[in-house]
Amino acid sequence: MSDDVQTQVQATDQGSVLIITINRPDAKNAMNKAAAEGIAAALDRLDAEDDLRVAILTGAGGTFCSGMDLKGFLRGETPFVEGRGFGGLTQQSPAKPIIAAVEGYALAGGLELMISCDLVVANANAKFGIPEVKRGLAAAAGGLMKLPDQIPHKVAMEMALTGEFIDAARAHELGLVNRVTDGSAMDGAMELARAICANGPLAVRISKQIIEESRGWSLESRWDEQAKLTPLVFASEDAREGAAAFAEKRAPNWKGK
């Protein structure tokens, strides 16, 4: 990554967890091209390195992401990565799980980044919304398509057409957020990440793949489509190790194969 990209996004390891931090606090972590490229590069690394099991996406300075950098937009800059979408994430998810740790605001493109993650942990004071219509824009980085998949249709419609925000309690009630914390969202996300890391990495990856892809499978084909993937899990060394560890009352030693 270039120095500019490394400045805009910081990627650090904590054991098997890759923490990806949007580092533009003076701009409320508004997404620009360099930050999008930084996220994409970090996610490439997540999937490429066997020792990394889970990523956490967060923002520096008490804000998750306030959306697209409008000053950059006026200069003709687009914070998209080809094939990956807005912020290097919204059109292509990594094969491994990614958790959003949300403090402050997840708005516009920031919300679209959040809902492109597999799980969400948010501080109780967080706020969420797609206010693009207030600026004569549309939530075209996935908000208008993904949000109705994750919350009731009419609630998604209201958020899109009014541009108004919802709070963390309402987001949790709707199922948009997995866990709400009174303290640090990062602490809650790390707890969730560690729970995932304790499991077989191949089983986790295939389980995520089936949950994501099965939404596009027909009722007639879904069992056949799943049958193309699950044998990879059941015939794996990890499957045998998991059974042996259970029988021997010990922690499993996963190999990811």
| Ranges of CATH 3.90.226.10 domains, the chain | 3-197
Q: Is the pLDDT of residue 73 over 90?
A: no
CB 130 within 8 A of CB 108: yes
pLDDT of amino acid 77: 84
pLDDT of amino acid 70: 82
Cα 150 to Cα 118: distance, rounded to the nearest angstrom = 11
CB 103 within 8 A of CB 63: yes
Q: Is the pLDDT of residue 2 over 60?
A: no
Residue 76 — very low, low, confident or very high, per pLDDT cuts 50/70/90?
confident
| CA dist 69 → 5, 24, 38, 78, 192 (Å) | 15, 10, 15, 9, 30
The backbone torsions φ and ψ at residue 54, rounded to the nearest 5 degrees and listed phi first, read: -145, 150
Task: Say what the alpha-carbon torsion angle 79, 85, 86, 89 is, to the nearest 10 degrees.
Answer: -120
Q: What is the mean pLDDT of the chain?
A: 95
Tens-digit pLDDT profile for residues 29-61: 999 999 999 999 999 999 999 999 999 999 999
CATH architecture of the domain formed by 3-197: Alpha-Beta Complex (3.90)
pLDDT of amino acid 138: 94
CATH number of 201-247: 1.10.12
Among 6-15, 21-30, 91-100, 146-155, the minimum mean pLDDT is found in 6-15
CB 39 within 8 A of CB 87: yes
pLDDT of amino acid 179: 98
CB 78 within 8 A of CB 35: no
Q: Is the pLDDT of residue 6 over 80?
A: no
Which helix (H) or strand (E) segment is 123 a member of?
strand 119-123
| Ranges of CATH 1.10.12 domains, the chain | 201-247
Q: In the chain, pLDDT over 70 holds for what percent of residues? A: 98
pLDDT of amino acid 5: 66
CB 66 within 8 A of CB 103: no
Cα 75 to Cα 57: distance, rounded to the nearest angstrom = 27
Q: Is the pLDDT of residue 3 over 60?
A: no
Tens-digit pLDDT profile for residues 175-223: 999 999 999 999 999 999 999 999 999 999 999 999 999 999 999 999 9
Q: Which residues are catalytic?
A: 112, 132
pLDDT of amino acid 71: 82
